[in-house]
Amino acid sequence: MTKTSKSPHKLRFAILATDTVLFSKDQGGLKVLLMKVDRPPFYVQHWGVPGGLIHPKETADEAAKRHLWEKAGAKKFVHIEQLYTFSALDRDPRGRVVSVAYLALTPTTDIVRRGGSEVRWFSVENLPKLAYDHKDIIRTAIERVRSKLAYTNIAFGLLPEEFTLGELQRLYEVVLRRRFDKRNFRKKLFSLKLVVGTKKKKRAGRSRPAELYRFSERRHKVVGIL
Rounded to an integer, what distance in angstroms lies between the CA atom of residue 83 and that of residue 137?
A: 9
How confident is the model at residue 226, as a pLDDT? 86
Is 152-215 a CATH 3.20.20.70 domain? no
Rounded to an integer, what distance in angstroms lies between the CA atom of residue 37 and that of residue 136?
A: 17
How confident is the model at residue 205, as a pLDDT? 66
Neighbouring residues of 160: CB distance < 8 A, sequence distance ≥ 6: 107, 108
List alpha helices for the chain, DSSP H: 60-72, 134-151, 165-176, 182-191
Rounded to an integer, what distance in angstroms lies between the CA atom of residue 94 and that of residue 138?
A: 21
C-alpha torsion angle, residues 55, 58, 61, 64 (rounded to 10): -30
Backbone φ and ψ for 15, nearest 5 degrees, come out as -85, 140
CB distance 202 to 209 below 8 Å: yes
CB distance 163 to 211 below 8 Å: no
For 15-134, CATH gives 3.90.79.10
Query: CA torsion sign, 192 to 224 to 79 to 57?
Result: positive
Cis peptide before 41 (omega within 30 of 0): yes
Which residues participate in catalysis according to the annotation? 118
Per-residue pLDDT of the chain (226 residues; tens, 9 = 90+): 555 555 556 667 899 999 999 999 987 789 999 999 987 788 778 999 999 999 999 999 999 999 999 999 998 889 999 999 999 999 998 889 999 999 999 999 888 877 667 999 999 999 999 999 999 999 999 999 999 999 999 999 999 999 999 999 999 999 999 999 999 999 999 999 999 999 998 877 667 889 999 999 999 999 988 8
How confident is the model at residue 76, as a pLDDT? 84
DSSP3 helix / strand / coil % (the chain, rounded to 5): 25, 30, 45
Rounded to an integer, what distance in angstroms lies between the CA atom of residue 42 and that of residue 183?
A: 50
| pTM of the shown model | 0.91
How is the chain split into domains, by residue range?
Answer: 15-134, 152-215
